[in-house]
Amino acid sequence: MDAILQAQFQRVETALNTLIDSITSYNPSTQAAVNLVAADDELSKGLEQLAVHQANYARILSLRQTVTSLEGQLKGSLTALADLRKELLATPATTFPASSRHVPFDEVLQFAKNLAKYTAPSAIRPPPAKEVAPPEQTDQADVNMSNGVGTPANRGANDDPAKEKGDGKAQSTLTQAQKDWLEEASRAPFMPWPTDNIIRGGALGHIQGMINRGQDPATVLGPAEQEAEDKRRAEEVEREKQEQQEREAEARRRESAYVSGARPTQPPQAVFQGLDMYDPDEDE
């Protein structure tokens, strides 16, 4: 590139010198001027080529940079992959010893979830060192008091912002903490077994009610049996209706036989219209 430009500069210089010489020797030659112009054009072209050359060079440099960065990325990915593979092979897989018992843990967890409702009261906090009485005693008064003592002590940090909120609002609205406390106080004490209400409301209580009313539980049908019974009755009703319809159809046929038998005699009897006592539709 430089050599090309050098040559062109040289040509411009020569042409210029020739022209100057020709002018200083009072022998202006237009050819020299033309040569100069041509050389100048060549030079411009050369400069453009230089610009393109430099752009290309810059592009080459940037592409080289991209290549190195991508190579680096690739190397990094491959090393990471190799490390992961090593790690994966190194993690020990648990093998169950032959003596272990198969535990259906998902069933056990499901069972535990179902039981949680009945095992401990919903607002349970494990009794810590301080005197928080468990909120279930058979004495109702104790329940209210222990709840009153226990709840503020347990609510700790939530109390202050809750109280401030309470002061800011109107008196009719209660803060969440107060609402919860009221609900706890009114709720019946928790028992980890079915209470009297639950027992009375269950199947055995229901049967006891039936006995008290004089209804024999042995005659009461279960839901499946009841359905079967209902279906049978419906079928019977259907059958009866069909028979009824058949009987009616029979009767109508008999009547129509009567009618067709009676019709030929009608015109001769037209004279006795008023005295005609025979009504073909009447069925004795």
Partner 1 sequence: MADATFGGYSRFDLELEFVQCLGNPAYLNFLATQKLLDRPDFVAYLAYLRYFAEPKYACYLSYPGPTLRALELLQQEKFRKEILQPTVMHRMVEEGIKAATGDRT
Binding residues vs partner 1 (CB under 8 A): 107, 111, 114-115, 118-121, 124, 126-127, 134, 136-138, 190-196, 199, 202-204, 206-207, 210, 217-218, 220-226
In the complex, least distance from residue 235 CB atom to partner 1, rounded to whole angstroms: 21
- Three-state secondary-structure class, residue 25: coil
Is the torsion defined by CA of 266, 268, 273, 276 positive or negative? negative
At its nearest, how many Å lie between partner 1 and the CB of residue 240? 28
DSSP states along 225-260: HHHHHHHHHHHHHHHHHHHHHHHHHHHHHHHHHHHH
In the bound complex, what is the minimum distance in angstroms from residue 201's beta carbon to partner 1?
11
Minimum distance from CB of 202 to partner 1 (Å)?
5
The answer to whether the CB of 132 falls within 8 A of the CB of 154 is: yes
Please say whether the dihedral angle defined by the alpha carbons of residues 204, 210, 211 and 217, taken in this order, is positive or negative. negative
Question: Would you say 161 or 202 has its CB closer to partner 1?
Answer: 202
Consecutive H or E run containing 141 = helix 140-155
In the complex with partner 1, the residue whose CB is nearer, 193 or 272, is: 193
Burial call 130-155: b when 16+ CB within 10 Å, e when fewer: eebebbbeeeeeebeebbeebbeeee
Phi, psi of 190 (to 5 degrees): -85, 140
Separation of alpha carbons 143 and 134, rounded Å:
9
Q: How far is the CB of 195 from partner 1 (least distance, A)?
A: 7
> 95 or 138: whose CB is closer to partner 1?
138
- At 183, list the tokens: 């609900």
Among 182, 184, 94, which residue's Cα sits nearest to residue 135? 184
| Contacts of 18 by beta carbon, 8 Å cutoff, 6+ apart | 29, 32, 35, 36
Rounded to a whole number of angstroms, the minimum distance from the CB of residue 184 to partner 1 is 15
| Shorter beta-carbon distance to partner 1: residue 196 or 281 | 196
Residue closer to partner 1 (CB basis): 4 or 210: 210
Please state the closest distance from residue 193 (CB atom) to partner 1, in A.
4
28 vs 202 by CB, closer to partner 1 = 202
Name the helix (H) or strand (E) containing 179.
helix 176-186
The residue count for the chain: 284
Q: How far is the CB of 250 from partner 1 (least distance, A)?
A: 43
Query: Helix, strand, or coil here: 216?
Result: coil
Q: Kindly tell me which of 83 and 230 has the beta carbon lying closer to partner 1.
A: 230
Q: On the CB side of 182, how many CA atoms lie within 13 Å of its CA? A: 6
Residue closer to partner 1 (CB basis): 106 or 284 = 106
